[in-house]
Amino acid sequence: MRIRLGNIPLGRDEPDKQVLPRIKTRSTDLADVTLINLNLMLVNQNGIFDQQNYVPLGLLYIAACLEEESYNVELIDYQLFAHAKRFNARLFAEAAGPTARLLGISCMSNLLPYAILCARELKKGRPDLRIILGGVGPSPVAREILAAFPYIDSVVEGEGELTMLQFMKGPISPLPRRRLAKNLARFPLPAYSLVDFAQYDAAPSIITSRGCPYRCAFCTEPHNFGNRVRFRSVESVVDELELVHALSGRSLFLFQDDTLPLNRARFRRLMKAFRNLSFPMRWKCFSRVDLMDEELMSEMAETGCVQIRYGIESGSNKTLKRIRKGFTIEQAYAIARRSAKYFPSVHASFIWGYPFENMTEFEETLNWVSKFEEGGITVLLFEYSPLPGSPLYKKYNKGLTFSKDHYSFYVVTGHEVVKSDSFQSKPDMDSAYSLIQKYPKIFSGFYQYENLEMLKKQHRLEHYHLSRRSPVRNEYDC
């Protein structure tokens, strides 16, 4: 295995010569499949870029399954491309250079327009190339993408391991049958040999389970991984932690499970195993406030938990009931405050701008956000994104408008400058904006509800500043 560098021809208007790292399973052979990670955690605040690179865990799982069947896998990671800060599909296609005939692109919703533009560029002059999209961005709108963009050969809904194995052995179907593995033990550990950990500054992510039993109205997660939760064995999780530590030297990990403490008995077995690792581990996780109590918090802190992240999502009990959160804001606040006694970092996310939210409910959210901040909790406040595939979008999919001068914080990618009182987009992003406007059902997450109360809320927020909002870079990853 070795890193191969692709040359990028650049014109006089593109002076920064840059090479894009590509790693293959077997460097001397032609790749059987090229996997491209087109995700980017990047924000441009007042012209200052804040970027953090995450190991592309989903693609590494797919790569491991393909490697187990002796396929030669090549990985290209867009995060490592110097021109990511000024997106240009042609530059990226040139940087990608020659790829395998079978090419998979993974992205989230915020970079879906760019993934489609890149796919179009990559396919130019290569009619034999077969492009497959996957990830949480394209999954809920698979049929719409296939109908709109003939250069996309297939879209994978949900998990990609079994489907990609199927494609390697047979014909590529445009919309393959959804395939969820009942037993996660059938999957090998992620193909960490395909990444250089020195290029990733975020804490390595670990997934110990897939699926979420909750049905929050704004969320698309059940569409991707189902409502039935499938758990990995504790032994497998320990093996992965030891492997990543040996390869990277890292001792801080982020557990990406939707709700790590979901199965309390299993969670305690995990924490017992954490005590017996060969290195002192620190870790972060996501949880629900209604699964936590002080006994569990104490045990988590003793086994190295330094950060917990809660999805609160509103300060209005009326709104919380409508989005099916299953707890009250008073309960959430009480648990968050107790958590701050045990963990040095507690995050709470809130959403404003629901299609049914009135000004009273909006002000309730702001009041509780202030109270959470005063209690020492880091608050992240997001504008509601009407993501396709979510129950809320299906019910409220009318009255959406798009303006290239406004995005919710959730879908800002760093190609635009976010200031406290304004939003600036670049002219060279017009191709992406045109795509978003032409296909509103595919890119609904870039839209907003245009009504009088939304304008009032925006004006209100211009004079409301969070004092503890975290930037892209997490305080425990530095």
Residue 33 near residue 102, CB atoms below 8 Å: yes
Structural domains for the chain: 3-169 (3.40.50.280), 203-402+440-462 (3.20.20.70)
Q: What integer pLDDT is reported at residue 253 of this predicted model?
A: 98
Q: Is-contact 137 115, C-beta < 8 A?
A: yes
416 vs 264: CA distance, rounded Å: 43
Q: What pLDDT is attached to residue 250?
A: 97
- Which parts of 251-322 are beta strand (E)? 252-255, 282-287, 305-313
CA distance 143 to 217: 22
* 286 neighbors 212 (Cβ within 8 angstroms): no
Q: How far apart are CA 478 and CA 473, in angstroms?
A: 8
- Residue 427: what pLDDT? 65
Measured CA angle at 235 (ends 229, 241), to 5 deg: 95
C-beta neighbour count of 276 within 10 angstroms? 7
| pLDDT block averages, 10 residues each, the chain of length 478 | 29 43 72 92 68 93 96 92 72 85 94 93 91 95 97 95 95 92 93 95 96 91 78 97 98 96 97 98 97 97 97 98 97 98 96 94 96 94 89 91 64 54 63 89 89 84 66 62
Element holding 167 (H helix, E strand):
helix 161-169
Q: Which of 368, 316, 310 is nearest to 336 (CA)?
A: 310
With a CB cutoff of 8 Å and minimum separation 6, the contacts of 376 are 340, 346
CA 386 to CA 408: how far, in whole Å? Answer: 10
Q: Are 30 and 72 in contact (CB under 8 A)?
A: yes
Predicted local confidence at residue 402, as pLDDT: 85
Round to whole Å and give the CA distance between 176 and 56.
23
Give the pair of three-digit tokens for residue 188. 């090998």
- Residue 435 to residue 295: CA distance in whole angstroms: 51
| pLDDT given for residue 94 in this prediction | 83
pLDDT for residue 210: 93
Q: How far apart are CA 370 and CA 375, in angstroms?
A: 9
**pTM more than 0.85:** yes
Distance separating the N- and C-terminal Cα atoms of the chain:
29
Which pLDDT belongs to residue 412?
A: 45
The single residue listed with the structure tokens 């999954």 is 139
Bin 36: left if φ > 0, else alpha if -120 < ψ < 50, else beta: beta
How is residue 228 annotated by DSSP?
A: S
Question: How far is the CA of 339 from the CAs of 309, 310, 382, 394, 431, in angstroms?
Answer: 10, 10, 22, 35, 45
* Exposure b/e, 116-128, CB count within 10 A at least 16 = b: bbbbbbbbeeeee
Instruction: Give the pLDDT score at 172.
Output: 95
